[in-house]
Amino acid sequence: MISPSAKYSFDSVLRAEGLADIPSSFRDPSFFDEVPLYSRYEQVEFLKQYGEADRLLLELSLEYLQRVKSERTANKAMRFISVTIVRDDVNEYIVPYIFICNSNARMRLKDLHLSLPSKGLGKHIQSLMQKTDHPQDYRVLEDRSTVSDDVKVFISYKSPPQGLISLDAFV
């Protein structure tokens, strides 16, 4: 459970990044991008006072994913949305992004090959997920092939709502 004051402080971070109100561009039928939820580690230092910063960042990111999910696009195309996570160094915080592809997701992401978390960041995120309120609702997969020597973790709905493409489409 995230304290209201932690949520409020994170909303300030989202405001600084121009993300507090879901940007209208996220509803654009041609939108395809990955946007970080914060840009500097110092912006999320405050989370340490509320508990494990990485777990809180994960939970706050999942809440943001929920908000993005509720935004509808003008077209009826299948969308792909997820939280993606990278980490520059094991001693740094995770960096969550919101990943949105509002159309032609299967074609645009044809080279994306996700797999079960095997080690490192993927396993770390998987273990953090178990500490969240609803771990059963989400699937955690990793991409180790798009960028060599790097891993990106994808988190999205186990059973995506109508209109959303499942992570399983890229396994």
Q: Give the residue numbers spanning the domain of 152.
A: 4-170
Count of domains forming the chain = 1
Tokens 């405001």, located at residue: 15
* Integer Cα distance of 160 and 81 in angstroms: 10
Residue 97 has pLDDT above 80, yes or no: yes
Q: Is 96 exposed, middle or buried (0-12, 13-18, 19+ CB in 10 A)?
A: buried
Residue 93 has pLDDT above 80, yes or no: yes
DSSP state of 33: E
pLDDT band, residue 100 (cuts 50/70/90): very high
Residue 58 has pLDDT above 70, yes or no: yes
**pTM summary value:** 0.94
